[in-house]
Structure 1
Amino acid sequence: MPKSKTKYLKPFKNLFVIILIVFAVWMLFFDANSWLIHHELNTDIEDLENEKDYYKKEIKKDKKEIKELSTNDGIEKLAREKYYMKKDNEDIYIIEYQDSIPKKKEDE
């Protein structure tokens, strides 16, 4: 063998170096606490924290809506806007603009 190849292979003839390399490969890829599993778990944690922040915002929004609906004016506003309810002596007119009307498919 040429000397240049043996120069680079000499450290791999040492038993401790071989054991260290095998240990490092095992810990990075095959162990239950491997780097790959930790990376995947950290990604899952980040996704769950983002989801947690989203639900906290939704809870704040819902609490605000509940507070608004706890008054008689809030209930009346909801009934008029969403369910089109009216008082006995009123007439309701719903005005729809051209761009708010859904278009029919031409095939039908």
Structure 2
Amino acid sequence: MKQLLDRIPSFFKNFYFLSTLFFVVWLAFVDSNDLFLQTQLSNKKAELEEARQFYQDKIMQVKNDQAALNHNPDLLEKMAREKYLMKKPNEDLFIVVREDR
């Protein structure tokens, strides 16, 4: 046993080295904010930032559509007729449904 302990360099027997090693292992694996949790949180943050960018793009698209509809009555009528199936009082509306075969 003594021979085995003599083979270990004195650097690894140093109190400060052992304390630092213990501290690093504690933070990396045992602490409530360990490396695994930090990795998961980082991935979740990336997903949320991606979703945020997606919704910001959608908001800009809706604002652009709104501005176009406010300034162009023909486009407003077209959208009302196509999307919401609105019609004028003296018109008949026929909806053709195509069946895929």
Q: Which runs of 4+ in 1 moved over 4 A?
A: 8-12, 30-34
Displacement of 1:81 in angstroms is: 1.2
| TM-score, structure 2 as length reference | 0.69
Q: State the match for 2:84 in structure 1.
A: 83
Equivalent-residue separation in structure 2 for 1:88 and 1:34 (angstroms)? 67
| TM-score, structure 1 as length reference | 0.66
Q: State the match for 1:41 in structure 2.
A: 41
1:25-61 C-alpha deviation (Å, 9 max, x unpaired): 1232345665444333322321221111111111121
Please list, as runs of the form range in 1=range in 2, the aligned pairs for 1:1-108 lying within 5 A after superposition: 1=1, 3=3, 5-6=4-5, 7-8=7-8, 12-31=12-31, 34-70=34-70, 71-99=72-100
Q: Percent identity?
A: 33
Equivalent-residue separation in structure 2 for 1:60 and 1:39 (angstroms)? 32
RMSD: 3.0
Q: Which runs of 5+ in 1 are unaligned?
A: 101-108
Equivalent-residue separation in structure 2 for 1:17 and 1:88 (angstroms)? 87
1:53-103 C-alpha deviation (Å, 9 max, x unpaired): 111111121012212321211221122112322234433322111129xxx
Q: Which runs of 5+ in 2 are unaligned?
A: none
Equivalent-residue separation in structure 1 for 2:19 and 2:27 (angstroms)? 12
1:67–1:40: structure 2 CA closer, same or farther, 3 Å change rule? same
